[in-house]
Amino acid sequence: MILGLFTTIIAIAGSTHGKVFQHLSELPVDLMTFDFIVSGGGTGGSVIASRLSENKAFNVLLIEAGPDTADQLGLSIPGWGLGKGTENPSQFIWNYESVPQEGWNGRKAGIPRGRGLGGSSAVNGMVYTRGSKDDYDNWARVTGDPGWSWNALRPYIRRSERWTPPAGGRNATGEYDPAVHGYMGRVETSLPWDGHLEHDIRTIRNAEIQKAEFPLVLDGNAGRSIGVKCWYQLAWMQSTIGNGTRSSAATAYLGDPVRKRGNLAILLNTQVLRVHPVVSSVRRLDIRTVEVISSDGGTAVKFTAKKELVLSGGVIGTPHILLNSGIGNRTELESLGVASILDLPDIGKGITEHVAANLVWDTVPLNTTTIDQDLAYAMWQQNRTGPLTATFTHQILWSRIPSSSTLFKEWKDPSTGTTSPHLELPLDAAQNAYLALLTPYSRGSLRLASSNPLLPPLIDLGLLTHPFDMAAIKEGVRIMKRFYSGPAWEGYITGFRGPDPDVLSNEEFEKRIRDNAITFYHPVGGSAMSKRGEKRGVVDGELKVKGVRGLRIVDASVFPYVLTAHTQAPVYILAERAADLILTSWVG
Ligand SMILES: Cc1cc2nc3c(=O)[nH]c(=O)nc-3n(C[C@H](O)[C@H](O)[C@H](O)COP(=O)(O)OP(=O)(O)OC[C@H]3O[C@@H](n4cnc5c(N)ncnc54)[C@H](O)[C@@H]3O)c2cc1C
Ligand SMILES: *[C@@H]1O[C@H](CO)[C@@H](O)[C@H](O)[C@H]1NC(C)=O
Ligand SMILES: *[C@@H]1O[C@H](CO)[C@@H](O)[C@H](O)[C@H]1NC(C)=O
Ligand SMILES: *[C@@H]1O[C@H](CO)[C@@H](O)[C@H](O)[C@H]1NC(C)=O
Ligand SMILES: *[C@@H]1O[C@H](CO)[C@@H](O)[C@H](O)[C@H]1NC(C)=O
Ligand SMILES: *[C@@H]1O[C@H](CO)[C@@H](O)[C@H](O)[C@H]1NC(C)=O
């Protein structure tokens, strides 16, 4: 009945956007109740709203602080990225920055996050990597729930993915394993580029010559069953691109047919300030109310979900909302004048990020043809071909630090297992390469700056604060020096400009790394998963907030450690299973 009434109102309003409300004031508040409210329409939140509203019996409200993204040409064209062809680009980004990083000699790190439907998936670099089998098998150990293991998650991986041919119909046989991909899922993936670069060809030759050490594997997304002896893996880079166009959580999960569903309301440009308990007297807190405000200001309004409230505000947004609500370390909250409703001290703790060192090789002048931008755009428009269909890298090199390394005499291996590489080097820009440490020991945290929920939190990524991380990067540089020293690079690589740990003093090497490191924009954690009943951690294996009824978290903040992956695919995989867990608990 409520559903019928709702539909009528929309029909009268004659909105051309179906069920998408651009402003809080457009939502006919008194007339609607929702079974589920999803807070944050990003990567995780879009999956949840889409999957829950597949069941016609449930009414779903999705609340997103930013605007729609699906209509932005600049965000759709992989070769353009944020900026060109995008209206007022800053509206699509939460432009956070860290506090001064001790391990970066006091430099601050930029922490951009997507703001708008699709969240970070609508503005990211589109790299599609799932991580390793051990990354997931360890989730199963951490939560005590075998459903999070790699093998158990396979159906959800397939359900999230739709593999597509490359731009221009190039024959990509032999560059991926058809057996490990999904073809009926939502997010389009591909090997989007239209041909091989000089660097690609030399890498292939190198892989033949240095087969034992740097083999080219068929597919980097097969869970990486790296053999015991083989510590390196090289694979063609896969992207969340289909038909030369970005596939984001918004385009993949909230396309027109989904937006037309009578049981899904999408409320844009509306920021969640806090969550609140429904009844405060019962034994267990029951938190299903959100307090929201229009992103352009005004009065706060509350909505209460009949069944569950799902937080999907991302690694910064979700812990921030919880802390603003008085859920976190009681002592710390009360010292800021925030009334505590639940003492959950691990909120905002344990944030982990991929730190990356800048490495520079000298090369001969490359045969680069300058791209005629007008022609490139014409090709993209006409039949989705040409240089704008892809991003930067074609191949990725992963590496494990050998277990015989002296590093492991001093520190326990932080990786989740032998299928997890410690290091990653996206290839094809040796002149300005970035070597990422995928398994850092360093941890950061997020806390409130004040009791005003509209002020950004204080974010400390803790980058390069643990000595293992610097030592591992040092090993990594040596591995990469070996990679670029084979005969396949003759006439291409002419020297290594460093920083070279075999030339510089320790102090000089470390200074170069700390002064020039970047991050890969992959922070996770802050609402970490742990076993049910365990004191530490924030959510259990079913992603329910500990000590609370009615509230779950589905986004990258629940990852207990950063995976050996660029983090969007893990969020899609997590969210697909999370949707199933939620539906199962209400459908019976
Ligand atoms: C610039 C950039 C490049 C990246 N490149 C890659 C890449 O190439 N490959 C890859 O795999 N990963 C990449 N990542 C990381 C990856 O995109 C993210 O880890 C992942 O998308 C996070 O998903 P999420 O659901 O946790 O959060 P998000 O997708 O960020 O979603 C959170 C959503 O919640 C909304 N929100 C937050 N707070 C509130 C609030 N108070 N009220 C209402 N709404 C709120 C936000 O606006 C956002 O839409 C990149 C990220 C960035 C920012
Ligand atoms: C795409 O269009 C261009 C320009 O018209 C043409 O040269 C090219 O052959 C087309 N490619 C495909 C795969 O259709
Ligand atoms: C693609 O290439 C593979 C191997 O290189 C070949 O076996 C196959 O027939 C090709 N497919 C098409 C459609 O040309
Ligand atoms: C809570 O914060 C206080 C002050 O920072 C700290 O001393 C205490 O150890 C924290 N409690 C827990 C359980 O982490
Ligand atoms: C550039 O092209 C020429 C001619 O095709 C080739 O001989 C040379 O190796 C190329 N340069 C590089 C850096 O590979
Ligand atoms: C790709 O996009 C072009 C341009 O919109 C369209 O003509 C073509 O049908 C699309 N191809 C596929 C396979 O979707």
522 given a catalytic annotation: yes
Does position 425 have pLDDT exceeding 80, yes or no? yes
From 199, 354, 394, 522, active-site residue? 522
Give the torsion through C-alpha atoms of 255, 261, 264, 270, to 10 deg: 50
Does position 10 have pLDDT exceeding 50, yes or no? no
Per-residue pLDDT tens digits for 291-332: 999 999 999 999 999 999 999 999 999 999 999 999 999 999
Task: List beta partners, residue 63.
Answer: 39, 267
Q: How confident is the model at residue 280 (pLDDT cuts 50, 70, 90)?
A: low
Select from 437, 421, 533 the least CA-distant residue to 477: 437
pLDDT at res. 167: 85
- Rounded to the nearest angstrom, the distance between the alpha carbon of 371 and the centre of ligand 6 is 23
Task: List beta partners, residue 239.
Answer: 127, 190
Residue 29 has phi, psi (to 5 degrees) of -55, -50
Is the CB of 331 within 6 Å of ligand 4? yes
Dist. CA 356–CA 461, nearest whole Å: 13
- Hunting for tokens 């179906």 — which residue is that? 18
- Residue 270 sits at the vertex; the CA angle it makes with 266 and 271, to the nearest 5 degrees, is 125
> What mean pLDDT, rounded, does the chain reach?
92
Q: What is the pTM of this model?
A: 0.95
Within 13 Å of residue 456, how many CA atoms lie on the same side as its CB? 14
- Rounded to the nearest angstrom, the distance between the alpha carbon of 77 and the centre of ligand 2 is 17
Is the CB of 174 within 6 Å of ligand 3? yes
Long-range contacts of 172-178 (CB under 8 A, 24+ apart): 174/218, 175/218, 175/236, 176/218, 176/219, 176/236, 176/238, 177/218, 177/219, 177/222
Q: Whose CA is nearest to atom 9 of ligand 2?
A: 168
Is the CB of 332 within 6 Å of ligand 4? yes
354 given a catalytic annotation: no
Q: Whose CA is nearest to atom 14 of ligand 4?
A: 345
E strand or H helix at 156, and its extent? helix 150-160
Does position 12 have pLDDT exceeding 60, yes or no? no
Nearest ligand atom owner, CA of 362: 5
Atom of ligand 6 nearest to the CA of 165: 13
Per-residue pLDDT tens digits for 13-70: 333 334 899 999 998 866 568 999 999 999 999 999 999 999 999 999 999 999 999 8
Is the CB of 508 within 6 Å of ligand 4? no
Contacts of 522 (CB under 8 A, 6+ apart): 353, 354, 562, 566, 567
Dist. CA 21–CA 566, nearest whole Å: 32
Please indicate whether residue 15 or residue 396 has the higher confidence score (pLDDT).
396
Q: How confident is the model at residue 2 (pLDDT cuts 50, 70, 90)?
A: very low
Does position 4 have pLDDT exceeding 50, yes or no? no
Is the CB of 51 within 6 Å of ligand 6? no
pLDDT cut 70: percent of the chain above it = 94
Nearest ligand atom owner, CA of 168: 2
- Residue 452 in marked binding region: no
Task: List beta partners, residue 478.
Answer: none
E strand or H helix at 552, and its extent? strand 551-553
Q: Whose CA is nearest to atom 7 of ligand 2?
A: 379
- Residue 237 in marked binding region: no
Mutational test site, ligand 3, from 170, 173, 175, max ligand atoms within 8 Å of CB:
173
- Rounded to the nearest angstrom, the distance between the alpha carbon of 155 and the centre of ligand 1 is 24
- Residue 106 in marked binding region: no
Q: Is 580 exposed, middle or buried (0-12, 13-18, 19+ CB in 10 A)?
A: middle
pLDDT at res. 31: 58
